[in-house]
Structure 1
Amino acid sequence: MTTAPGPASAIGVSRELDRVMRADRGRLLAILAAGLRDLALAEEVLQEAAVSALAHWGRSGLPSQPAGWLLKVARRKAIDRLRGAARDGRKAAALAGLAEDEAAPEPEAIPDERLRLIFACCHPALEPKSRVALTLRTVCGLTTPEIARAFLDAEPTMGQRISRAKAKIAAAGIPFSVPDAEHWPARLGTVLTSIYLIFTTGYVAGPGEPRDLCLEAEYLVRLIDGLRPGDAEVEGALAMMLLTAARRAARIGQDGASLPPGEQDRSLWDEGRIAEGRAILARAVARRMPGPFQIKAAIADCQMAEAGPDWPQIAALYGALWRHEPTPVVRLNGAVALAEAGDPARGLEIVEALAPELRDYQPWHAARAALLVMTGARQAAALAYRRAIADAPTVADALFLQRRLDALNAVQSGGRSGRRKESP
């Protein structure tokens, strides 16, 4: 834990600590949790180490390996915590392991053991929603409010869910390890869903965020693909991420508004990612073991068809996805595709029927507004657009919807003006 000579400014220390915690928190937490076998305790001692760093680095200068410094100090704090509870056999074993790790030479680099943490968080003993939420909290460091918004839950409810999941991991002695091959099927679906949510969170946030969650999710799927080669669903998840991420540079227009694939500047798409994604998808489909992630990858591919989105095929694919994931959101997306494919009345009928489940879900209002326009219900569409704009998750999405509302208002104004001219 050698440090650079001389004190460091408080601002400089705070910035470096923030950078390290953003970049390495997941890796540090994975190592600590594996040794402690207690996720909540691992988070506590890592936070205590971060607090110590603010004072120590300010006095002695920044360490040459900040992440290694935090790991070593966190282990020492965990040892202090466990010494008083050494009569507990499991804690005694953790204490012995920590003491051995703490005495070992400082590594040149912190190993990446996040996959172990993901599999622990996605253990079948945990309720599915808790598995995904806990993975987002621990591996990627998303805040409880961010996760609550993703699940349409109240923040206190989500906080309690995450706390209960941590406690269950500790009480049940769930191992922090990558399972043997025979245990993969029971865990892989939730693991991929967790990583998929990490990806979508990063995609919606855009490239200006401090951490690129899209790249982090892609890295984790590639890691799984290396551990389980030849799995069609892992390949499907990777293909879906590559094809979707290929459009990131074109997702926001010059006016700052988000753009759907059919309105994007295709010259900004990443052709290398598109080619790799399509090749991986073709390989997955050839295995003849269809699954939801392969279907999602196929939908992403159809969005990028040369002549524009292939809506009839997209609608058919959402029908297939519904058989795997019969959720209101899949039903909503399928209704939009159906409308775009030429049956807006039926699409709107489906969307309206989803009101009891999705009336607090912002994309439902945006989709409903678009379909109301397509069916000629302009006044109702304007109201729906205003609600969707008010609840838009990003400024870019709000600007896109405002453009649609402005265009609708212009049409309505023109119509009213024309009728006045025709009046006697």
Structure 2
Amino acid sequence: MTRPVDEELLRSLTPGVLAALVRRGADFTAAEDAVQEALLEAVRLWPQPAAVAGSDGEGEVEAAAVARADGGVPRDPKGWLVTVAWRKFLDGARAESARRRREERVHEEPVPGPVPAADDTLWLYFLCAHPSLTSSSAVALTLRAVGGLTTRQIAQAYLVPEATMAQRISRAKRTVSTVRLDRPGDVATVLRVLYLVFNEGYGGDLDLAAEAIRLTRQLASAIDHPEVLGLLALMLLHHARRAARTGPDGALVPLAEQDRSRWDTAAITEGVAVLQSALSRDRLGEYQAQAAIAALHADAPTAGETDWVQIVEWYDELARLTDSPVVRLNRAVAVGEADGPRAGLAALAVVDGGVPRHTAVAAYLHERDGSPSTAARLYAEAARLAPNLAERDHLLRQAARLNSRPGAQQ
């Protein structure tokens, strides 16, 4: 009995295939359409999942132009997809008179054979951060075209309606289809993209965290930039705690309650070393500051031994760099741990109440301040506002725990 095609393999190869077509002169929208058609052909012709990892370069050979006769996966799956997608693009170009001139430039297929190894996925990240796009549009387009996220997932990340995000992505596609993509985009935009991809993979429906780390690691080896190192350190330190973030039943486990023996010490060691290298450049940025906070959490043997005073100092630096209400919200938690819950509530009072998780933080600080009934009410309210089921269930359990105490209803 044959098994379904390896969808994870196809998803991992898609960005490189798309980039290969754009490199050859296909406009972004037409290239994306051609890649989707090639993926449909792969699903139809590749019944067996592959245990191979696609070539780094295009590595095209004539045998890759057609599926193997036995119905298996080609030896070079990426080369196969590039060849089929390129032919799909040429078919579309020939069908439209407006693209006759383009066809004259590209009608000859490349000579089969290996090409120098290159990571087209990383190159595509920079193209999606093109100077002609706004930062928000560049991030959204990259998450869609390279990260493989759905429009719904991107809309949730931006806290906007799905229809609004769909329009934003469509406009971005039209923009990059009318410009010559020969200049790389802004590094800061690429870093924001990688960070959003990591966060989606870390806590969302798709596991893109490892891919975000891989791309950031490669970016760090190619670009001498302390913030690239800072982001890599931040990802490694957060990813090191991943196994402990949920219990056997899938329930969310807060940082203070995590089994620290399940943390990945190798990832922590690497993350701290990368962070130290970044900080030695004396060009502090927001990702380095966030990584420093994560490193202080990772360095504490127990939650009670966390150096909250230093963490507050780093949040002060981070607030200076970003002026972000989310940073001020997290700083209120740190102040509550360092200086007591009353101080934390005072810091929280100056944070916009509409910031996500504001109510949950208020509940936590009120509980620590000895107001269980107020905390229970706020936990229940926060649960209604939770962005995902795991967080909602955790908050509801906190409310139920407080409400079950003797005299809680008095």
Assess same fold via TM > 0.5.
yes
Would the aligned equivalents of 2:5 and 2:43 in 1 still touch at CA under 8 Å?
no
Indicate the residue corresponding to 2:189 in structure 1: 190
Q: Does 1:370 align with 2:364?
A: yes
Indicate the residue corresponding to 1:136 in structure 2: 143
Q: Which residue of the other structure, out of 339, 342, 346, is the alignment partner of 2:339?
A: 342
Would the aligned equivalents of 2:232 and 2:271 in 1 still touch at CA under 8 Å?
yes
Query: 1:217-296 counterparts in 2 under 5 A?
Result: 217-229=212-224, 231-296=225-290
Q: Which residue of the other structure, out of 305, 319, 322, is the alignment partner of 2:319?
A: 322
Would the aligned equivalents of 2:325 and 2:352 in 1 still touch at CA under 8 Å?
no
Displacement after TM superposition at 1:187 (Å)? 1.0
Displacement after TM superposition at 1:167 (Å)? 1.1
Higher relative contact order (CA 8 A, sep 6+): 1
| Greater mean deviation of Cα atoms: 314-323 or 156-165 | 314-323
Would the aligned equivalents of 1:36 and 1:42 in 2 still touch at CA under 8 Å?
no
User: Aligned letter for 1:336?
Assistant: V
Unaligned runs of 5+ in 2: 48-66
User: Aligned letter for 1:324?
Assistant: L
User: Structure 1: how far apart are the matches of 2:6 and 2:270?
Assistant: 36
Indicate the residue corresponding to 1:25 in structure 2: 14
User: Structure 1: how far apart are the matches of 2:15 and 2:97?
Assistant: 27
User: Structure 1: how far apart are the matches of 2:246 and 2:30?
Assistant: 41
Indicate the residue corresponding to 1:161 in structure 2: 168
Indicate the SS of the match to 1:290.
Answer: coil
Q: Which residue of the other structure, out of 119, 128, 146, is the alignment partner of 1:112?
A: 119
User: Structure 2: how far apart are the matches of 1:314 and 1:123?
Assistant: 36
Unaligned runs of 5+ in 1: 1-7, 180-185, 420-424
Displacement after TM superposition at 1:79 (Å)? 0.8
Indicate the SS of the match to 1:341.
Answer: helix
Flag the 1:364–1:33 CA change in 2: closer, same or farther, 3 A. Answer: farther
Displacement after TM superposition at 1:415 (Å)? 5.0
User: Structure 2: how far apart are the matches of 1:369 and 1:240?
Assistant: 27
Flag the 1:347–1:325 CA change in 2: closer, same or farther, 3 A. Answer: same
| Greater mean deviation of Cα atoms: 147-156 or 299-308 | 299-308
Q: Which residue of the other structure, out of 62, 75, 79, is the alignment partner of 2:72?
A: 62
| Greater mean deviation of Cα atoms: 370-379 or 102-111 | 102-111
Would the aligned equivalents of 2:366 and 2:372 in 1 still touch at CA under 8 Å?
yes
Indicate the residue corresponding to 2:32 in structure 1: 43
User: Structure 2: how far apart are the matches of 1:242 and 1:19?
Assistant: 22
Displacement after TM superposition at 1:242 (Å)? 1.1
Indicate the residue corresponding to 1:80 in structure 2: 91
Indicate the SS of the match to 2:178.
Answer: helix
Flag the 1:280–1:53 CA change in 2: closer, same or farther, 3 A. Answer: closer
Displacement after TM superposition at 1:393 (Å)? 4.1
Deviations 1:131-164 (A, max 9, x none): 1111111111000000100110100000111111
Flag the 1:381–1:35 CA change in 2: closer, same or farther, 3 A. Answer: farther
Would the aligned equivalents of 1:85 and 1:92 in 2 still touch at CA under 8 Å?
no
Q: Does 1:127 align with 2:134?
A: yes
Flag the 1:196–1:249 CA change in 2: closer, same or farther, 3 A. Answer: same
Query: 1:291-302 counterparts in 2 under 5 A?
Result: 291-302=285-296
User: Structure 2: how far apart are the matches of 1:334 and 1:95?
Assistant: 59
Displacement after TM superposition at 1:259 (Å)? 2.1
| Greater mean deviation of Cα atoms: 23-32 or 63-72 | 63-72
User: Structure 2: how far apart are the matches of 1:274 and 1:235?
Assistant: 14
Displacement after TM superposition at 1:220 (Å)? 0.7
User: Aligned letter for 1:190?
Assistant: T
Flag the 1:104–1:241 CA change in 2: closer, same or farther, 3 A. Answer: same
Displacement after TM superposition at 1:381 (Å)? 2.7
Identity of counterpart residues, as a percentage?
Answer: 40
User: Structure 1: how far apart are the matches of 2:376 and 2:392?
Assistant: 14
User: Aligned letter for 1:200?
Assistant: N
Would the aligned equivalents of 2:377 and 2:399 in 1 still touch at CA under 8 Å?
no
Q: Does 1:71 align with 2:82?
A: yes
Displacement after TM superposition at 1:325 (Å)? 1.4
Would the aligned equivalents of 2:244 and 2:263 in 1 still touch at CA under 8 Å?
yes
User: Aligned letter for 1:96?
Assistant: R
Q: What TM-score results when the alignment is normalised by the length of structure 2? A: 0.84
User: Structure 2: how far apart are the matches of 1:24 and 1:74?
Assistant: 12
User: Structure 1: how far apart are the matches of 2:115 and 2:124?
Assistant: 22
Q: Which residue of the other structure, out of 399, 402, 406, is the alignment partner of 2:400?
A: 406
Indicate the SS of the match to 1:36.
Answer: coil
Indicate the residue corresponding to 1:422 in structure 2: none
Displacement after TM superposition at 1:371 (Å)? 2.2
Indicate the residue corresponding to 1:171 in structure 2: 178
Would the aligned equivalents of 2:240 and 2:265 in 1 still touch at CA under 8 Å?
yes
| Greater mean deviation of Cα atoms: 157-166 or 28-37 | 28-37
Flag the 1:357–1:172 CA change in 2: closer, same or farther, 3 A. Answer: farther
Flag the 1:219–1:165 CA change in 2: closer, same or farther, 3 A. Answer: same
